[in-house]
Amino acid sequence: MELSSFFKNLFGSAKETTTDLANKAETTFEQAKEEAAPFVKKAEDFAEETFAKVKEASEPMLESAVEYASKAKDIVSEFVEKTSESLSNAIDSTKEKTAETETVVYEKVVDASEENNTVTNQSVDNTSNRE
């Protein structure tokens, strides 16, 4: 009997100790939560104020950025038009020069061919005259 009452006392007191510790932990947590509440509120307020200041300070910069982006767009548009026109002119000029070169080459080939025929005919005539 003494053994069973020993275990009852041992486990009974452990159960009571655990319950007491849980209650104390809950009370301590609630106290910490209550004590931390003002600091949490201050941190929230600080974050909101900082965000508002950053927003206020960045608005002029954003407006300037929009203005510069618009100017850059206009400048780039001008260059695109000029570049497109220049490329078109270069292509047209290249086509014209290629056509001219083809004509000159054709004429040179025809002239060379005619000269070759003349020389060949003269050679044939000279050979015929020797006989």
Write out pLDDT tens, residues 91-126. Answer: 888 877 777 776 766 666 666 666 655 655 565 555
Q: What is 8-63 written as a DSSP string? A: HHHHHHHHHHHHHHHHHHHHHHHHHHHHHHHHHHHHHHHHHHHHHHHHHHHHHHHH
What's residue 13's pLDDT? 62
* Mean local confidence (pLDDT), 60-68: 83
Residue ranges covered by each domain of the chain: 1-95
- Spatial distance between the Cα atoms of 8 and 14, rounded to a whole number of angstroms: 10
Residue 1 DSSP class: -
More confident residue, 101 or 88: 88
What pTM, to 2 d.p., does this model score? 0.35
Residue 50 predicted with pLDDT over 80:
yes
What's residue 110's pLDDT? 63
Residue 10 predicted with pLDDT over 70:
no
Per-residue exposure over 24-40, b if at least 16 CB sit within 10 Å of its own CB, e if not: eeeeeeeeeeeeeeeee
SS3 state of residue 81: helix
